Amino acid sequence: MNRRDHDRLMKPLCKQLNALIPIKGTEDKDKINALIYDASQKVPDFNLYWDRELYIDCGCDDEKVRLFTLHSGKVHFEPSDDPTEHPGITIRYNDENK
């Protein structure tokens, strides 16, 4: 998938996901999961990626990254930097939280 097509699909998705974090309850978490699942059905090889710094800061523990993403308000979703090799979205720190 080329960058333009990838961004055309991923930017609206990221905007929707970012509006839901930090989650306020189970309903928000369910919406996030549904949006990610829908994207995975539409985009070949879609994946959710963690920023390296975030992953290390969370002790390389996937569950800690997930909890931090849902509850901290210090991260955001953005389209992957390399849609050819890594189609999907990346979770990164907000600029002010670096």
* For residue 73, pLDDT beyond 70: yes
* For residue 98, pLDDT beyond 60: no
Collapsing DSSP to helix, strand or coil, 53 comes out as helix
What's the one-letter identity of residue 32? I
Query: At residue 55, what are phi and psi to the nearest 5 degrees?
Result: -60, -45
Q: What is the mean pLDDT of the chain?
A: 93
| Distance (Å, whole) CA 69 – CA 92 | 9
- Map out the domains of the chain as residue ranges: 3-97
What is the three-state SS of 16-52?
HHHHHCCCCCHHHHHHHHHHHHHHHHHCCCCEEEECH
**58 confidence band (pLDDT: 50, 70, 90):** very high
